[in-house]
Chains A and B, each alone.
Chain A
Amino acid sequence: MKDYNSFTDGELIEHASNGDQLAFQYLVKRHNGWAYGFVLKTVRNPEAAWDITQEGFVRVFKNLSEFRQESSFSTWFHRILYNLCIDHWRRTGRRIEVEYQDVLSSGDTGPSGGRGHIFKTPEKALRHTEIVHLLEEALGELSFEHRTIVVLREIDGLSYEEIAEVTGCPRGTVMSRLHHARKNIVQHLKRHGYVSSEI
């Protein structure tokens, strides 16, 4: 019996491209969490994020044989999702911001449902919620390009080279946008009274 959990992404893709659907299912299971998180933070609409992530995996499934092992699956998939997010962003524009703020206020995290983090004290839980909310607001104030890059770096942990590959921007542009994005985020946090010692 195959131990799919021990397979690398490349091995799962190789098996999946040979018709092994279980291998593809394991690939999806391994990557759907961060993929949905990335898309959600980028397009800021839970329903759209769900659909885009689904579409991203559909594209992966359609193009399994085109995956080249020299690139990591994560980078390849990020690029697919990034392009889908751009398409969505061009179609919908900024109006989705308002919807996402409504969702944040209502506490509804979308079709996946939500699971909170466990904190030792209510104060910590409240502060965590406030910071995350402020950060969401700050991300919402950024342009699509700046927001995407900062999410790729800070949440998904991609290197500058990988971000450049995903977004198609030169490394210098990545560095510059990241700096701009962080500066604006910090300004937003400070405007609401947060300093580093509080976090």
Chain B
Amino acid sequence: MEKNENTRDEEILSAMIDGELSEADTEKIKLTLENSDHLRSFEKDLMLSRSAFGEMKRNTSDAVDFDLFWKDLSESCVEITRAKNNNELTPDELRKLLGKSGLSWFDRLFAVFAPAAAGVAAAMASVFFLMPARVLKERVIIEKPMARAGETVKTDLKVVSGDKKDPNEVRPVHLSPNPVIENIIESGESCVIESMQSAEDIITAVFKVEDSDGSMITVIWLPIDEPSEDTI
């Protein structure tokens, strides 16, 4: 449908006030404006609208508390960065992730069983003695149940099926967005804590959970000092 002439002139006038017209079009609409009471009235309306928006722009009530905003945002960014970097986690990031992914019961278990498991933690001692003091990062490693105590696999998160005959056969998994460790642990009806230890706020633990095929797998959660070369 054709727009009526008034509407068209109003649109052009509106564009002129916004500075969106060419010089030639501006001159044309100015001429029309001089001879049109309707258009002059509309120009006042436009000014009314503009002034009102000017008042709104002065209103600072939309201001965002940047610290609060960044705190929320940086948490999301950490997760994205981790996913991009193939699960390289700092201890804080790992704890945050586990807390968010429904594994907070782990912390609770830790609080309950840690004293009783202190003796079993000796099995992990050799691991710690091999670690330099500047342990900064944590990895999650899942090994075969028959893995010797203290034996670690310096790779990113990997899963070895308990039934597989070849102990070297590994299946790479990603911790995000659906951590396999979370799925395995949550699908298991029970969890056997073998050892737990906390040193400088870094949790190290060995526990067993039942895999979906009924086999028991051992989860070793421990700090590793440097990134592995065989990144997944």
Chain A residues with CB under 8 Å of chain B are 21, 24-25, 28-29, 32-33, 36-37, 40-41, 50, 53-54, 57-58, 61-62, 109, 111-117, 128, 131-132, 134-136, 153-155, 159-160, 175-176, 178-179, 182-183, 185-186, 189-190, 194-196, 199
* CB–CB B63/A115 < 8 A: yes
Q: A153 vs B20: C-alpha distance in the bound complex, in angstroms? A: 12
* CB–CB A182/B56 < 8 A: no
Q: From DSSP, what is the main secondary structure of chain B's interface residues?
A: helix
| 5 A-B pairs whose Cβ atoms sit less than 8 Å apart in the complex | A28-B66, A117-B58, A154-B56, A175-B14, A186-B49
How many A-B residue contacts, CB cutoff 8 Å? 132
- Asked whether B192 is an interface residue with its Cβ less than 8 Å from the other chain, the reply is no
Minimum distance in angstroms from A157 CB to a CB of chain B = 9
User: Given contacts A117-B60, A179-B7, A179-B10, is CB(A135)–CB(B53) below 8 Å?
Assistant: yes
- Asked whether B166 is an interface residue with its Cβ less than 8 Å from the other chain, the reply is no
- Asked whether B52 is an interface residue with its Cβ less than 8 Å from the other chain, the reply is yes
* CB–CB B59/A117 < 8 A: yes
* CB–CB A115/B60 < 8 A: yes
* CB–CB B61/A111 < 8 A: no
* CB–CB A153/B18 < 8 A: yes
One of A28, A41, A199 near B48 (C-beta < 8 A): A199
* CB–CB A132/B62 < 8 A: no
B101-150 residues with Cβ-Cβ distance < 8 A to A are none
Q: Please, which residues of chain B bring their CB within 8 A of the CB of A176?
A: 11
Q: A195 vs B48: C-alpha distance in the bound complex, in angstroms? A: 7
- Asked whether B184 is an interface residue with its Cβ less than 8 Å from the other chain, the reply is no
Q: A154 vs B14: C-alpha distance in the bound complex, in angstroms? A: 12
* CB–CB A189/B49 < 8 A: yes
Q: A41 vs B61: C-alpha distance in the bound complex, in angstroms? A: 12
Q: Please, which residues of chain A bring their CB within 8 A of the CB of B14?
A: 175, 178-179, 182
Q: A47 vs B7: C-alpha distance in the bound complex, in angstroms? A: 38
Counting chain B CB atoms within 10 Å of each CB, which of A36, A61, A182, A189 scores highest?
A182
Minimum distance in angstroms from A181 CB to a CB of chain B = 9
Minimum distance in angstroms from B6 CB to a CB of chain A = 11
* CB–CB A135/B15 < 8 A: no
Minimum distance in angstroms from A142 CB to a CB of chain B = 12
One of B45, B52, B64, B81 near A112 (C-beta < 8 A): B64
